[in-house]
Amino acid sequence: MSDVKEGTPPAGGDDVADRLVITTELDPNKKWVLLSLKGRLDVFTYMGLSKRLNEEIESNPGLNVILELSGVLFVASSGWSVMLATRTRLKRLESRLVLAGMNEDLTRIHSAMKMPGLVPAYPTAAEAKKALAGV
Amino acid sequence: MKIYLKYSLLLAFVIVLSAGSITGVALLLQRHALTYQALLRAESIAVNLSLVSAEAILTRNVLQLVPLTTDATTRHENVVYAAVIDQTGLVLAHPDRAQLRKPFLFEHLANETSYAVQAAIQTGVGLGRLVWDVSVPVKAKGSLIELGRVHVGIDQRGVEASVSRSLKQLFLVATLCLVLGLALAVYFIRILVRPLQVLSLASAQVGRGDFEVQVPVQSQDEVGELAANFNQMVGNLKAAELRQKVAQRMESELQLAHSIQKGLLPSKDPDLPGWESAFACTPALELGGDYYDWYPVAGGRKVGFAVADVSGKGVPAALHTANLRNLLRFTTAEMESPLQVMCRVNSLAFPDLEDKAFITMVYAVLDPQTGEFTYVNAGHDPLLWVRANGSIEVLPSTTYPVGIVDGAEFEEGTKDNTITLEKGDLVFLYTDGVTEAENEQGKQFGEQRIASLIQGVSAKQAVEQVRSKLNEYIGGRVPHDDVTLLALRRTP
């Protein structure tokens, strides 16, 4: 059984809370924590994601993080910045950040920025979990 | 009219009404009391006379009663007469001896029953005056037989005069109390109203924009609460004014910064015979993270072009943009190869950008003589190469954005890419503010739409058409990202 909790990013207050909804799932084997995003990851919501990621990393030190993006249609450069900063932080903790479920547009940008070598991406969250389960 | 005057008049009206009512009732009671007192005195005189009259009548020695009746009229105020009459109504004793043995003269007008006395009281005229005639029967001791009656007349006008004197004194005291009460009322109302006057003056000061004013809180009642709330309100207004000033200052500074940033863009296109170029740069906010510039390279024989997009927006992005401009100007003056320039810029910018931001960028060097166009695309949107024959080639990113990885890791995956632009060929560079612009349905403008607008047109037309169609596409809404366009075309 996974521990599932609902959450919304604090950035921007209530008026933008529905722009990005974050759902967290914790691996019972303590290998990974999965954050499912739904909405837009833009200049109004990226701080909320950043804060939430920091909280999860502090609560679950040493765990890998999966960002599930199948519910995200748009990621601004600020959003990619948050992912890269998280990747650096996790690397110092000897953990990894992986992405999952990106649509075609996001995959194209992800590749254009040469990010696959830095932040790997998997087609689905299940595949990401499977890959991290063996780490 | 001042509020204390209003309250004073209101209170004066209430006091006068109350005092008048009380005084009126007191006057009536006083009048009744004085009359009752006079009638009781008359009854007492009559009873005393009655006691001595019974024996005098039985001993037929009634003349001895005359001095007593005389004494009653002289010793007692307002007693007009005192008379003893027999059973037949003849006067036996009277102060006026001429009335003796004559019928008792009294013109009856009415019976008086308002006063609780045992004697019979009538209103009428006696000895030419309006009197209350108070009479009691004369009876022998232990006998029920009425031997005669004693009549005592009380002058009504005399009693009225006494009542009037008493009432005048009462009225005088009441008037003095009324005046004193009014004066005290006005005084206390002024004291009560003074905090309101202070509040009124303070409000006027606030109205003139003075938010330093505070009023003393001198009581714990509603007026004290009002004063405390007023002070809090003024404090809030002061804070709001301060916030507004800060916001205005920041807005002013942002406008100034916007002007400065605009000034950092090249003021003119490079002078390239046989070539045409055009660019447009529009920040989504006051300050943007997009950047465009050109530089003379290789002693002016070549021209370097840079189009960059710093992640994020606003002041942080603008600061990184300004830093990038200096790094590029410095680096391009020393190096020719886009690869070398990009690596140097990355190594210099990396410490400032790491984990905070990154820059996607295209840096290209054009040799106008040969048409050789050498570029490095660091994580940026693809370049569009429109050939004279109408075909389009998409030139994607070839390395990491600036600021993500350092040193060898960056250089490892980076190389110069060279294409040769023939006559009629056009290269189009843009930032993601163009491709990711959304219409009302949330659909992005996209790369294909750009490609369809830049075929077979001049550099200037390419920029203008994309800009125009982009504005049309987003439907007049404020763009959420900076927009930068650059077109470079070799004239046919």
Three-state SS string across B298-327, please? Answer: CCCCEEEEEEEEECCCHHHHHHHHHHHHHH
**What part of B 418-447 touches A (C-beta under 8 Å)?**
432, 436, 438, 442, 444
Is A73 within 8 Å of chain B by CB?
Answer: yes
Region A95-111 average pLDDT = 94
Q: Is B399 on the interface with A (CB under 8 A)?
A: yes
Tell me, what's the pLDDT at A8? 41
Report, as ranges of residue numbers, the positions in chain B whose pLDDT lies below 70.
Answer: 1, 285
Tell me the chain A residues in contact with residue B311 when contact means C-beta distances shorter than 8 Å: 76-78, 80-81
| Chain B: residue whose CA lies nearest to A110 | B379
Out of A77, A81, A113, closest to residue B397 by CB:
A113
- B411 Cβ under 8 Å from any chain A Cβ: no
Which tens digit of pLDDT belongs to each residue from B268-287? Answer: 889 899 999 999 988 776 78
Q: Which residues pair with B302 in a beta bridge?
A: B297
**To which H or E segment does residue A88 belong?**
helix A77-92
pLDDT reported for residue A87: 93
Say what the pLDDT of residue A9 is. 39
Q: What is the pLDDT of residue A18?
A: 57
* β-strands B372-378, B417-420 pairing: antiparallel
What does the pLDDT read at residue A10?
A: 38
Chain A residue numbers with beta carbons less than 8 Å from the beta carbon of B396 are: 112
User: Does residue B483 contact residue B291 with C-beta atoms inside 8 Å?
Assistant: no
pTM: 0.66
Please tell me the distance from the alpha carbon of residue B241 to that of residue B246, in angstroms, as a whole number: 9
Among candidates B344, B340, B255, B341, which has minimal Cα distance to B293? B341
The angle that helices B3-58 and B156-207 make with each other, rounded to 10 degrees, is 170
Read off the pLDDT band of A6 (50, 70, 90).
very low
CA B72 to chain centre: 81
Answer yes or no: do B432 and A77 touch at CB < 8 A. Answer: yes
Residue B472 C-alpha, separation from nearest chain A C-alpha, in angstroms: 21
SS3 B285: coil
Q: CA torsion sign, B384 to B386 to B387 to B391?
A: positive
Three-state SS letters, B338-389: HHHHHHHHHHHHHHHHCCCCCEEEEEEEECCCCCEEEEEEECCCCEEEECCC
Q: B354 to chain A: which residues are within 8 Å by CB? A: 88
Q: In chain B, what residues touch A89 (CB-CB under 8 Å)?
A: 355
> Which tokens is B269 given?
């296109």
What is the per-residue pLDDT for B296?
Answer: 93
- CA atoms in the 13 A half-sphere facing the CB of B196: 11
Phi-psi region of B467 (alpha: psi -120 to 50; beta: other; left: phi over 0): alpha
**Complex ipTM over 0.95:** no
Residue-wise pLDDT tens digits, A58-84: 998 889 999 999 999 889 888 999 999
In which element (H, E) is residue A99 found?
strand A97-100
Q: Do B379 and A74 touch (CB under 8 A)?
A: no
Work out the pLDDT band at A13, boundaries 50, 70, 90: very low
Percent of chain B with pLDDT over 70: 100
